[in-house]
Every structure is written in C-alpha cells, then in structure tokens.
Structure 1
C-alpha cells in the first residue's frame, strides 16, 4: 500500500485516521511516508497538548509553520514553577493563528512582561477560550491576576466568533463602578460563560459582565467572593436583582459553591 500514489494513499489514510478504532500514533509510525501525509490531518483534527515550557518552545520553533497554521485545538498546560511564560505562549499563538479552541493552564504573575500574551491573544480568533490554574482544582490560588484579566477582557470585543468562555482562579480589580472597568460590549458573540474561584467580584461586577454580552444565554459561576476568599460569598439573589434592574439579560444565571473554607465554618452551601 505504501507504494500507492499519494492521490490514492491520502484518502485511505485519512479515513483510517477518522475511524475511532484506529490509533493515530500507530498510523503515524507505519512508515515515514504515512507520517508525512497524515501530519497535517492530525494537527487539524486532534488537539495538540503541550505540557511543559520546553515542549511549547520546541513545538512553536521546530514544527513547520504550514502545520502550525492547521492546528484547530490547542491545550497549553504549563506548571506554576515555569515562571513567566508569555513570550513562548505568544510565539506559539501567533503561529497557530487559526486555532479555534484554546485551553490555557498557566500562572499569571504580578511582575512580568505580558507583551507576548497581548500579541498572542490578538493573533487568534477562537470559538472557545479557557484559562484556569495549573494548581489542583481544590487549591485556592490566583492564575488570572488583575493585569492578565484586563488583557483578556480588552481582547474579547475583538474576537468575532467567540461562543464559550471559561475562566477560574480569577482576581477582579477593586472598583466601585464595574462599568468603568468593563467594555461597553464585552463580547458581541458570546453565548456561555463559566466563572470559578473569583475574588473581588461583587454582584455588580457579575451583572455588568452579563449585561455587556448581548447574546449571552448562560452564565454559570462557582465559588465567587465579593472581597477575599475569607470574606462573604456573592449571593445569587443579589446578582439576579441587579440583572432585573438592568432589564438587559434574559439568559440563565446560577451561582454554586463547592470549596469548603475552614475559617468561618463555610461548608460550601449552595445558594
């Protein structure tokens, strides 16, 4: 079969790759020629998972640009010990500019150069975007510190096809008037938001996010605190009252609590 013309071999290998019973790795290892033919289909149809800073740099610097441009789903998982990672992340995103689904697990630091993050997010136009912490889910840690969050929020109005946004371990700024921090239209296309482990996010901030997304259908929040994690949780009723006052959001909104806090006897009661 290896001796078949490319015009015949490529559709055969592509069908085999799409068959759930086939292993992509097994097919890629058959022969150098099958590897060459299938690589572009693998990058286009399967998520690319990056699990270290070194792997990310090798990926963006050594994989041909023609293949990187075919990446549709990119999962970047960088441990918190990696330090400042935004030059490498930005380099990868500018080359994977056609990515549709981006999952980012990385720690944002307060004192770091974020130009790579700005350039990388500006280079893509995803359908779904997720940013969470590299720490275990039960750890209360901040990965999306305020300067990083500001960069993301400023980019959202520029993404023309974003449907799903998921963020956790987030720190909002301390602002009395959230409308002065949020863009007038946060996203013209966004349909669902998932927000978890957020601090300094009072009811006015959550309501402001919802009303700034005209097509938003669902907003799910979990473990949201109006000040620090040792302060009071945001009550769903307060957010709903704000939304009713604005009369500009008609989707589903919910707040749940999952994490238990030792101090104060908070056992994560669902509102």
Structure 2
C-alpha cells in the first residue's frame, strides 16, 4: 500500500502521532507535498516546544501561520532554561498575534477564536502548558508577566520538570508574584494547575502579601484550581479566595495536594486549617453569624486537601495518604 491509497483521514491520524513524537517534526513535512499540506495545520494547531532553540526559531519566523494555535506547550528536559525563556515565549505569542492580524486584514478569519485574538490583543488558547524551572536569581522576573499576559487560556498548567516523588521548587516566590499578575488578565480561564511552587514569604516584604490577600484575583470563569507540592502557602489566602462573594458559583474545586504553610518539614495544610482561617477573616467576622456559616459551608464544599507523596522523615510523615480534614 502506498501513501496515495491511504485514506486522508487515516493519514492525518498517523501524521498527528508522528509529529508529536518526532524530535524534528518539520522534517516530516518535507517528505512530500501531501505530508506538507496535511501536516502544517496539525503542527501549528498544537505548538509543542521541547527546547529553547525550537522556541527561538519559531519566534524568529516571519511566514504567517496556517491556522490559529489551539494549544501551546513548553516542556524543557530537566527544566533546563535560561533567564530569557519567557522573553522567547512572548516573542512566540507575538508571532501568533501578528499572524492573526494579517489574516484579519486579508479577510481570512476562519473562526471565532481568530476574531477574538484580534480584538483583545491576546492569543486565545484551549491549553497553555509549561514544564520548566524559574530561577530566584533571574534579573528579569517581569518577563513572566509580559509573556503570559499575551495569552488568554482556558486551561493553564505549570508543573515542575522533576519526577513527582522529587520535591523541588520550579516556581520560585518572585515568579509566583508575576504569575499571579498575569493570571489576573485572563478572562477565559477555567482550570489552573500549579505544582512545585513557593509563595512569597512574609520576610520578603516587597511582593503581594498573600497572607492577607486572596490567593488569586477575582476570576469569574474559574472552575477548578489545583496546587501541589507547594510551600509557604498561607491557609488564609485560600480562605479569602473561597470566601470572596464576587468569586461566583463557578468555582467548583480547590485541591491542595502536599501543600505546606511553612517548609516541607512541617505538617501539610488540611481543610481544618482553611476553615479556621476563614472564620477569622475580617469581613466574615464583621458580617455576622449567618455569613460565617455560609463561608464555612462553602469552604467544606469547595476545598479538598490531600496527602500524596511520602517523605523519609519530618512533619506529618507516617500519616495515611488521602484526604486531610
């Protein structure tokens, strides 16, 4: 059987898998004209960068993209990244924006997402996924905000690149601050997953005081939030976010998995910690008993604390895995 006799639908599926696994996916498009025509939309609809070099080469490209990206992934092996990775990510997103602008001028809008991209200056994505380290010594932490504010994802994931059983910090406190700023600009966000992160401690002083403010800014579309393997997370920040009246009824679940108020040598945060913090929030106390009961019920309904990864020693080591009430 030759490629000429393979049904186009089947060949498209084969190409999709091949492009996903190939270290140089562009080479597959050079096989023949049919591969090029079928492969281009597959390649650009789901942008997947596995190295800094790939990200730079894409951002420096000048030819218009053949379609609007649906997903964008940056997964760097071992988390290897230089201080300017988010600068390159911003350039890549600007290329997506410039493509949309040129298609709009030519009357080539093909979808609602392309039209929205031209209107609000952001790239609408079904998924924006990062698997890389940030660095506490980075002289350009604001690049994180500048890059992520160019996107408007429905689902956002930032995980550490290390194995799940290896507790490391991929999102350092200064990165957490600029990440929160970027998230505040997203109007379509529904699902957020953040792991291997550390929040600004009270001693830093120069960043958002998470201990007194809600964990995230008001996000009317947010449905689920997952935070895993995180340190220096104040339960009061989670309580303030869940208790906020403007959060709306869309927030269905806040999962805290292996999260700590202080270091990993202390106990994990349990739901009781969030409940207690909610009961002493200033606006909740001032609102009276009925409001207190309402907030407590909401915390119990929305917040789920879990223990997943065992440590060798320290803290609540030895306790059973599962829900932490």
Partner in structure 1 of residue 52 of structure 2: 53
Partner in structure 2 of residue 7 of structure 1: none
Partner in structure 1 of residue 42 of structure 2: 42
TM-score, normalisation: structure 2? 0.68
Match of 2:317 among 251, 266, 269: 266
The root-mean-square deviation of aligned C-alpha atoms, in Å, is: 3.0
Comparing 177-186 with 47-56, greater Cα deviation is found at 177-186
Tell me the CA shift for residue 135 of structure 1: 1.5
Contact 2:215 2:241 in 1 (8 A): no
Q: Give the unaligned 5+ runs of structure 1.
A: 1-11
Match of 1:220 among 231, 245, 255: 255
Instruction: Indicate how the Cα distance of structure 1 residues 246 and 191 shifts in structure 2: closer, same or farther if over 3 A, else same.
Output: farther
Tell me the CA shift for residue 134 of structure 1: 1.2
1:189 pairs with 2:189: no
Partner in structure 2 of residue 3 of structure 1: none
- Post-superposition Cα deviations, 1:64-92, rounded to whole Å, max 9, x if no partner, equal 3424x621111111233323222222222
Tell me the CA shift for residue 241 of structure 1: 4.0
Tell me the CA shift for residue 258 of structure 1: 1.6
C-alpha separation in 2, matches of 1:246 and 1:180: 21
Partner in structure 2 of residue 109 of structure 1: 135
| Equivalent residue pairs, number | 255
C-alpha separation in 1, matches of 2:31 and 2:133: 40
1:252 pairs with 2:314: no
Runs of 4+ in 1 over 6 A off after TM superposition: none
Structure 2 counterparts to residues 1-271 of structure 1, below 5 A: 13=8, 15-16=9-10, 20=13, 22-24=14-16, 25=18, 32-43=32-43, 45=45, 47-62=46-61, 64-67=63-66, 70-78=68-76, 79-84=78-83, 85-96=85-96, 97-112=123-138, 113-175=140-202, 178=210, 180-182=212-214, 185-212=217-244, 213-214=247-248, 215-243=250-278, 245=292, 247-248=294-295, 249=298, 251-264=301-314, 266-267=317-318, 269-270=320-321, 271=324
Instruction: Indicate how the Cα distance of structure 1 residues 194 and 77 shifts in structure 2: closer, same or farther if over 3 A, else same.
Output: same
C-alpha separation in 2, matches of 1:178 and 1:115: 18
Instruction: Indicate how the Cα distance of structure 1 residues 63 and 257 shifts in structure 2: closer, same or farther if over 3 A, else same.
Output: farther
Instruction: Indicate how the Cα distance of structure 1 residues 268 and 109 shifts in structure 2: closer, same or farther if over 3 A, else same.
Output: farther
Contact 1:132 1:143 in 2 (8 A): yes
TM-score, normalisation: structure 1? 0.81
C-alpha separation in 1, matches of 2:65 and 2:232: 43
Q: Give the unaligned 5+ runs of structure 2.
A: 1-6, 20-27, 97-122, 204-208, 280-291
Instruction: Indicate how the Cα distance of structure 1 residues 268 and 82 shifts in structure 2: closer, same or farther if over 3 A, else same.
Output: farther
Contact 2:214 2:240 in 1 (8 A): yes
